[in-house]
Amino acid sequence: MDKYTLLALAILIPSLSAFLCYVFNKPWVRNVIVFVTALLMFAVAGGFVYQLLQSGGKIEINLEDLHLPFDIEFIFKLLDFVLLAIIADIGMKRKKPLIVVLAIIQGVLLLLFELFGSVKEPHVAFVVDYLSLIMLLLVSVIGPLITIFATGYMKEHEHHQHLEKSRQPRFFAILFVFLSAMNGLVLTNNLSWMLLFWEVTTLCSFLLISHDGNEQAVKNGLRALWINMLGGVAFVLAIIFIYNALGTLSVEEIIRSKMTPVGLFPVGLGLLCFAGFTKSAQFPFQSWLLGAMVAPTPVSALLHSSTMVKAGVYLIVRIAPVYSGTTLGMIVALAGAFTFVMASAIAISQSNGKRVLAYSTIANLGLIVCCAGIGSYVALGAAILLMIFHAISKALLFLCVGTIELEIGSRDIEDMQGLFKKMPFTTVIAVIGMISMLLPPFGVLLTKWLALEAAVKFPLVLICIIIGSALTLVFWSKWIGIILTVSYHAKYKMEKLPLAMWITMAILVVAIIVTGVDISMIFKAAVAPFLLESMKGVPETILNGINGLWLVGDSGKVVGGFSSIYFFMILFLLFLLYPYLYRKSKAELLKPPYLCGANTEEDTKGLEFNAPADTVDQVIVHNYYFAGAFGEANLTPWANFIAGAIIMIMFGVVI
């Protein structure tokens, strides 16, 4: 297939599938549509990989060459205003004047820009380079896998919600529109077209977060809508300022311009970073992503891994070469580092599994933003690698928590004691996912090491990364310890999961291991070419070896490295030995605790006993959550205040 066909398929296949899912109400038909769409999206992503390799690292698509019988630019502009009208209508129906005002401001600014700006659209409408290809693969592989998982999950979810009429047609339709918009966002070279796709994801996030229709879901969906609309207003202003300064909306030309103090160009860059902060839930905008936890688990997995929040960090990383080495870049790095340490700290006080994952996501997004702000060869390499590894691991972990919640009726970590006895498959998968966020040789830890190396010349940022990394060890270790607790009952039962759910989790855990083993190949094949192209003249400071990555100092000598493949060999041997060691453990070593002399027969945690009057009582055992030191209510107001001050300083600098 040629590049035009691939582009059309990347955007239109999910859109067509959205329509078909909405029209056909029979579950088996919808499941077939989801599965076929997933295969087609995998194939399209593979087609782009082949085309990019054949083209030497860049694909440029000019729609004028197609001589279309309609004005595509007019259609995009019309869709902008239609979208804003829909959002304003939502604000009026929900009696949220702020949403209406933000939609009107965007519409008026866009209208004035089109009428009086003499706007010249970029000649090249879409560009595929290695960064956009990485994002395309995340969206078009992880996204469809999550939709496959949802075919098994949503039936049980609606059963627990006691719905009389299924809302799955609408749910899957929005999921696919979301994926379509994300593909368009990462492929377009036109900043104004990116805005359209950007706001489509904003609308989809509201619809998905509020999907269950209860008061809490709608409230949190509206919060996500107005916070991201605030970023949308900043995006529109950025378009106006940048175009007036440079006379172009081409993302490629903007990046090539570097940081030139022409007109309000620096302010435009600051506004783009601000828009990225809102979309990626950086402090003080994190509340919308935390509120999104009320949505069905596939929505949480999608928002946190390959779509919504990744759109924010993608924009910041994409324009990072423009402000690299400037004061703006250092403030962006500080904002990201502060988010990383504060989100990691608050996560310690959380016992709700989804909120732990949410704060972990916010923290890792902060680290990506921090690396983009530093903007060096090592830092940008770390940012892009972390985008990849975090997307896979966090998608898996959210799906695991959703699966656990369906089985035990809770997402509280304390209720997961002895989980291995009830859900051994999900427990093992979840532990691997957590370890991939925590320990060597998995990629997330490696990117933190690269981030530390990149920040050595910036003490305040370096301290934040060190403290944040240490704090992440606490909440992951507590969680792993809880779910691996084994009671005195020797027997365990394998859980029964829908085929779509366990296959999706199995594929993602394999992806975690494969990408960890092949981190050097990933860097060589996709990350290094992007760095070489976007940072011309900057010396390479990361060497790629067949068994890991190595850093080169100013003297040209290797100063550090990481041989991931050897670590994986050791882990693999331990993994093979574990079943043998488990079977060799003697039953007499597992002693029942003395609980008034009578443990219950069905107790899987080793905490239940027969109390007086034949009632069942439970011993209270739980983790420390340090609510006094790391409590959400204590830290959030101060964190929001400091983060807001950093953003104000950022705009003071660029103005």
Question: By 3-state DSSP, what share of the chain in percent is helix, strand and coil, each rounded to 5?
Answer: 75, 5, 20
pLDDT tens digits, one per residue of 323-380: 888 899 999 999 999 999 999 999 999 989 999 999 999 999 999 999 999 988 889 9
Q: Is the confidence at residue 586, as pLDDT, over 90?
A: no
404 domain-assigned: yes
Query: What's the pLDDT at 257?
Result: 81
CA–CA separation, 631 vs 328, rounded Å?
31
pLDDT tens digits, one per residue of 60-81: 998 887 777 788 888 989 999 9
Calculate the alpha carbon distances from 583 to 424, 484, 486 in Å.
Answer: 15, 16, 14
CA–CA separation, 554 vs 644, rounded Å?
36
DSSP-derived secondary structure for 407-449: HHS--BGGGGTTHHHH-HHHHHHHHHHHHHTTSTTSHHHHHHH
256 domain-assigned: no
Full domain range(s) for residue 392: 320-591+624-655
86 domain-assigned: no
Check: CB of residue 297 under 8 Å from CB of residue 153: yes
- Buried (b) or exposed (e) across 368-392, using 16+ Cβ within 10 A? bbbbbbbbbbbbbbbbbbbbbbbbb
Q: What is the DSSP letter of 609?
A: E
Which amino acid appears at position 127 of this protein?
V
533 domain-assigned: yes
Which amino acid appears at position 18 of this protein?
A
601 domain-assigned: no
Check: CB of residue 380 under 8 Å from CB of residue 341: no
Number of H helices and E strands in the chain, helices first, is 28, 7
Query: What's the pLDDT at 73?
Result: 86
Q: What is the DSSP letter of 393?
A: H
345 domain-assigned: yes
Question: Is the pLDDT higher at 207 or at 577?
Answer: 207
Query: What's the pLDDT at 220?
Result: 94
Check: CB of residue 302 under 8 Å from CB of residue 180: no
Mean pLDDT (the chain) is: 87
Q: How far apart are the first and last CA of the chain?
A: 47
Q: Which residue carries 């009830």 as its tokens?
A: 422
pLDDT tens digits, one per residue of 77-95: 999 999 999 999 999 999 9
Band (pLDDT 50/70/90 cuts) for residue 653 is confident
Check: CB of residue 212 under 8 Å from CB of residue 271: no
206 domain-assigned: no
Query: What's the pLDDT at 544?
Result: 64
- In the chain, how many domains are there? 1
232 domain-assigned: no
Question: What is the pTM assigned to this prediction?
Answer: 0.93
Query: What's the pLDDT at 235?
Result: 96
pLDDT tens digits, one per residue of 126-177: 999 999 999 999 999 999 999 999 999 988 888 777 777 888 999 999 999 9
